[in-house]
Amino acid sequence: MKSRRSSKIVAIILLLAVGLSVACNRDPQTKATAKPSEDLPARQLFGVELQPQARALLAEIEQHYGKRLREDVKSNLDYSYYAALASVDSDGTPSIRMDSDIPATESTIVHELLHIKLYSKGFPVIRLNYPQSLSTERQQAHVRYIVAMLYDAIIHTIIYPQAREMGLKPQESLHSQLDLIMADQFEDYAGVPRQDVRTIYYLNAALLLDDRELFERVTDAYIRRHWYESVAIGRVLADMVAAAKPSTPEEVVFVLLRCLEVIQHEINNFELEAWQNEKRGEHILRRAVIKVIPQQRAGK
């Protein structure tokens, strides 16, 4: 039986999708890296020999920050759902942290380099401002997961085309993750309902896969398991992002907020509280502060 909540969600998300489709205009801020110089010396990161275009991207980042990229390997990365993390450290050093349990590949390294390049162009990290009513780690973990994964999916619409222009396959890791999702064998994240994980991965499949046959296989698997709501919400989220085509920091955050209205409908509202500039060495890292506003339940 279809729940009344599902019917309300479908109606609301369709309205939001229509409104968002005209909100952003395509004006690409970040282009693919210029053709590499064959004169650049050989370079390895995490034991992986970089091809010329990847070396050129790395050289561009190190020139911008004036520091050699920091490599770090850890057994457990923050929040456990990342295989690698890019950052600009407090001293202004660009940094990549890799999960020691997952072998490094050039595709993963370039992916993280492109995240750092976006930071240099003013794309922000996200900070969440929680109310007192969301004081437990499980409550915050749920919201943190949703925001992080939605933001990544939106940012990846900028990163993936650039990686593909370099001859890489940035979606390779997504394939193995989707295999686990379709088999319903993916790990649990503390505080995160499994339905939300399924919805996030369906969004990624609809938005980022360039293999339509695989996407149809993912859809068939979801339908066979009766994960109808994850299909409906994930597809609408993907359509919203694709229609908006965000290309600037402000557009990306705007689209993120609209997507959060859909997936957290009747749970939390979100609003942009502030843009902040944080000093990292001689450079500025932008931060978008998003306020989490729990919705009042009926009858309370």
* pLDDT per residue as tens, the chain (300 positions): 434 444 444 444 554 454 554 445 444 444 444 444 567 899 999 999 999 999 999 999 999 999 999 999 988 776 556 789 999 999 999 999 999 888 999 999 999 999 999 999 999 999 999 998 888 888 899 999 999 999 999 999 999 999 999 999 998 889 999 999 999 999 888 889 999 999 999 999 999 999 999 999 999 999 999 999 999 999 999 999 999 999 999 999 999 999 999 999 989 999 999 999 999 999 999 999 999 999 876 544
Instruction: Look at residue 256 in the predicted model and tell me its pLDDT.
Output: 98
Does 273 map to a domain? no
Instruction: Look at residue 169 in the predicted model and tell me its pLDDT.
Output: 93
Domain containing 90 equals 39-114
Those residues with Cβ within 8 angstroms of residue 212's Cβ, 6 or more apart along the chain or in another chain: none
- Pick from 290, 186, 294: nearest CA to 230: 186
Do 267 and 297 meet the contact criterion of CB atoms below 8 Å apart? no
Instruction: Look at residue 26 in the predicted model and tell me its pLDDT.
Output: 45
Does 126 map to a domain? no
Does 162 map to a domain? no
Residue owning tokens 């007192």:
132
Q: Which two tokens stand for residue 245?
A: 């085509």
Does 109 map to a domain? yes
Instruction: Look at residue 80 in the predicted model and tell me its pLDDT.
Output: 59
Burial class, 136, CB count within 10 angstroms (exposed 0-12 / middle 13-18 / buried 19+): exposed
H helices present in the chain, as ranges: 4-20, 52-65, 106-120, 137-165, 172-182, 194-208, 212-224, 228-244, 249-263
Q: In DSSP terms, which residues pair with 285 in a beta bridge?
A: 278
Does 77 map to a domain? yes
CA distances to 183, 184, 198 from 187, rounded to whole Å, are 11, 9, 11
Does 32 map to a domain? no
**Helix or strand or coil: residue 217?**
helix
Does 73 map to a domain? yes
Instruction: Look at residue 234 in the predicted model and tell me its pLDDT.
Output: 98
CA distances to 63, 237, 248, 283 from 121, rounded to whole Å, are 14, 25, 9, 11
Does 285 map to a domain? no
Q: How far apart are CA 289 and CA 274, in angstroms?
A: 5
Question: Domain count of the chain?
Answer: 1
Q: How far apart are CA 251 and CA 102, in angstroms?
A: 33
